[in-house]
Amino acid sequence: MKVMENGTKRRRKGEGTIIEYESGKWLARIKINGKQFSFYGTSEKEATKKLNNFKNKIKAGQTDYKRMLYEDFLEFWLSTKRQNMKPKSYDRLESTVYTNIINKSDRKSGLGFYYLDNLEVEIIQKLLTDKSKTLAYSSVKKIYDALNASLKYARSMGKIISNPVDLIEKPKSTGIAFANKQKAEDNLEIFTDDEIQRFVTAANAKFENGKLIYKNAGIFILMLNTGLRVGEASALKWIDYDEKEKTIRVNSSIVQYKNDDGKQVIKEQKTVKTRNSERILNLNAKAIEALPPKHEWKYVFCNRRNENGISDDIGNPLKPRNIQRTLDYILERADIPHKSTHVFRHTFASKLFEKGVDVKIVSELLGHTDIRTTYNTYIT
């Protein structure tokens, strides 16, 4: 450190300068990325302490320039993301932010009440560590990705000097935090052979007049024999069905999301979940039999006439909650414990592996982007 004739104490480049500009009034300055920051004190020690605290925050990736609550910044960031994301993807991101990062119902367990300049590596790391104790790897990774992307954006706007998440190791599915959790396949919902028979019988139940009790139960039989995701099955249209070749083309999905008014709505998404999700599947006899006999409407499985007349939604895709409600009724009739619609896809894949079908073929049938997804889910 060099002392100038005017009393200025100039440090090495990047360390700042300290001067006594009036008797008993000290000023510390430092320039970061072309912007100058100033700190005042009634003594050299006080000004130096403020300067050093600021430099320590810089090392941790933060600056107290333009103080802003993280939750306020996150809400601004979400508004920019909404414009360029698919509705369902945005819903997942918004849920991750409000449930696990801001957490307004219990603010002290989240990060929203921190100022951007107070978000240090240790604070962020603690949140991820705590979440790893109760959440699945995929959920923790979503939290990490949201933190990383939002703070990266804050840095690009000049709100912070650098992104503190850069100093945190990205969560790994094989990490110690997840070592004691059950493997994914242990938690998979899969029908036993006996349950399959009971479910099919219940799904085909009829009234005394011979009409099906569950008009769209065929959607479950189709998923059971093709491995379709529920959104893909809901979006299936008659134009996608090649009766001669006995195939269906999977190229869209029905998603549910919140509109600008906060109301849950459904929408057909032209692109499916991953780049390999678009595919052509051969149908076996059971899958073909599950299709409705009449091609009345655009969608194969849709809202149709009921005993009381015509529904306002006639011809429209089935809503996810209605599909699950119908599934619950059939499961109850079949005396099978509650399952989600994923049970059909998981059962389909598991049965293929029991028959010795190669994992690459199963992965293609399921529409997985990476064969490792199939392998990690059903084999390892």
CATH for 186-378, options being 3.40.50.620, 3.40.50.2300, 1.10.443.10, 3.30.565.10: 1.10.443.10
Domain ranges of the chain: 2-59, 70-180, 186-378
Angstrom distance (rounded) from CA 20 to CA 37: 16
pLDDT of residue 7 exceeding 60, the answer is no
CATH topology identical between 70-180 and 186-378: no
Q: What residue type is 177 in one-letter code?
A: A
Looking at residue 295, the DSSP 8-state letter turns out to be: -
Fold of domain 70-180? DNA polymerase; domain 1 (1.10.150)
pLDDT digits (tens, 9 = 90+) for 57-71: 666 555 544 568 899
Predicted confidence band at 80 (pLDDT cuts at 50, 70, 90)? confident
Rounded alpha-carbon distances, angstroms, from residue 295 to 218, 235, 239, 281, 302: 14, 15, 10, 20, 11
pLDDT digits (tens, 9 = 90+) for 87-112: 878 888 988 998 899 977 676 778 98
CA atoms within 13 A on the CB side of 127: 28
pLDDT for 183: 44
pLDDT for 220: 97
Residue 227 structure tokens: 């491995």
Mean pLDDT calculated for residue range 289-295: 90
Predicted confidence band at 4 (pLDDT cuts at 50, 70, 90)? very low
pLDDT for 117: 79
**Angle 324-330-334 (CA atoms, 0-180°, nearest 5)?**
140
φ and ψ at residue 41, rounded to 5 degrees = -155, 160
Q: What is the mean pLDDT of the chain?
A: 83
Least confident of 71-75, 147-151, 160-164, 374-378: 374-378
pLDDT of residue 291 exceeding 90, the answer is yes
pLDDT digits (tens, 9 = 90+) for 8-25: 554 445 577 888 877 888
Residue 75 structure tokens: 């809400």
Residue 142 structure tokens: 């979503």
Which of 329, 303, 333, 163 is CA-nearest to residue 234?
A: 303
DSSP characters over 202-254:
HHT-B-TTS-BSSTTTHHHHHHHHH---HHHHHH-BGGGEETTTTEEEE--EE
Angstrom distance (rounded) from CA 319 to CA 314: 12
Which of 237, 197, 219 is CA-nearest to residue 291?
A: 219
Helix/strand number for the chain, H first, E second:
13, 10
Helix (H) or strand (E) holding 265: strand 264-269
